[in-house]
Chain A
């Protein structure tokens, strides 16, 4: 663990791996709940957790708060995403994985996923859980428009586009679930720590 300065009131915790990011994110959320940590934002990334709007002295506290390893991924609420596996890139993904399109679908519905972090757009969650060997490169040229609800893969992540936008992820299917709705008390369906299963719609 290494702490880097981010301006006058921010700190970036650099973690050894993505699992530790989730340990730290959960620990810091918990410490903010109890009032031990004051922070405007706690933002997990791929290998880091950013805390912003913290009072002086917070950097000295962090080493004392080093969380225990593991277990986080099984703790969050479970959300099932009914998915129609009709993505334009299903066949190319099957080729990259060296299996049939049917086997790609089988693997995706059989793999427990969870939200590591969010970004790119409100409600866009980076889902971990796929083995490293199934990582796929982004498209060489992003599509100018990916529809809302598109279920896609890139790098080692799965993700679902909450709104229509340009995008370079490989589309494997789509869902009718509303990923982000500002009228809900919890606007994002998928938040860091949430467990996710893709299920055949």
Chain B
């Protein structure tokens, strides 16, 4: 069992989400930085779809009732085990935590979201096949609060795998495929200048601030299905890139779809973003 000593501003349970229910209005949810979640799970011998914790910027502190193998990936942050910077006998991000041990993930020095995987996974009750907290609809376990407890599953005994962590930081260049509604805009506006990540960004979407996109076509769009990475443009012309907790339908036109939203999971407010058109 894990006891939450310091929940941080937003720490949630995340796995690979619950795709397949969009026709019922259920968002996909899941880890924003999916490669980092998979990596953390592989470090501790979990299957890729095991549930882990996703922190936001300021980390969190946890007490492990039983000895545990724990991996931390994603954002770059100091990790203390029982008050001391953790030794890392197995490589970069893997820690053996003794029974009663306290793991404290400090404020991220680069990136935003850390992923904390424990051998056996976070064993909260799944909802529609996933243990992810969906911040938009409220499905899944509640966000962590101080004092909350989390069950840990049985480790599979699989050998831990190592992998390469992605580099975090710097200006982002996002590959985008125009459509389905690029004909509603003067689309070149998207490529002409840089945008910055707005502090209003969250798990639903990365809000961008910069050159307002102008509509080539007036009128309202009847609600239609939207996907992960969709760049929706509301009336003010400032684009929003939809992330894991995005609504399943939207009434604003989508100018294009970002190929890989992972870098946005780790991009801090103020980060410069440019778009590059794909095929």
List A residues at the B interface (Cβ < 8 Å).
4-8, 10, 12, 40-50, 52-53, 117-124, 126, 163, 180, 182, 187-188, 191-192
Contact = CB atoms under 8 A, between A and B. Distances in A.
A122 B26 contact: yes
23 contacts: A5-B179, A8-B177, A10-B257, A12-B225, A41-B19, A41-B20, A43-B23, A43-B248, A43-B249, A46-B222, A50-B22, A117-B223, A118-B25, A118-B249, A120-B249, A121-B25, A122-B21, A122-B139, A123-B24, A123-B25, A188-B25, A191-B24, A192-B23
B247 interface: yes
A50 B139 contact: no
A107 B39 CA distance: 58
A42 B223 contact: no
A7 B177 contact: yes
Contact of A5 (B177, B224, B226): B177
Q: B interface, how many residues as a size bin?
A: 20 to 34
B128 A44 contact: no
Contacts of A8: 177, 257, 259
A182 B23 CA distance: 15
Taking each of A41, A42, A180, A191, which has the highest tally of chain B beta carbons within 10 Å of its own beta carbon?
A: A41
B9 interface: no
B11 interface: no
Contacts of B248: 43, 118-119
Contact of A120 (B20, B128, B180, B247): B247
B121 interface: no
B225 A45 contact: yes
B227 interface: yes
Nearest to B138: A163
Contact of A119 (B179, B229, B247): B247
B224 A46 contact: yes
B127 interface: yes
A7, A49, A52, A191 — most chain B CB neighbours (10 Å): A7
A48 B259 CA distance: 22
B224 A122 contact: no
A48 B225 contact: yes
B105 to A, nearest CB: 30
- B20, B23, B229, B247 — most chain A CB neighbours (10 Å): B23
Contact of A45 (B222, B229, B230): B222
B128 to A, nearest CB: 6
Interface of B: 19-26, 127-128, 137-139, 177-181, 222-227, 229-230, 247-249, 254, 257-259
Nearest to B258: A7
Contacts of A40: 19-20
A40 B30 CA distance: 15
Contact of A121 (B21, B137, B229): B137
A44 B225 contact: yes
B176 to A, nearest CB: 9
A47 B128 contact: no
B19 A119 contact: no
Nearest to B257: A7
Given A7-B259, A45-B224, A119-B249, A191 B23 contact: yes
Given A6-B257, A48-B225, A50-B227, A120 B25 contact: yes
A143 B124 CA distance: 34
B24 A41 contact: no
B145 to A, nearest CB: 21
Contacts of A45: 222-225, 249
Most buried by B among A12, A163, A192: A12
B225 A43 contact: yes
B22 to A, nearest CB: 4
Contacts of A49: 225
A117 B249 contact: yes
B224 A48 contact: yes
Contact of A10 (B26, B138, B227, B258): B227
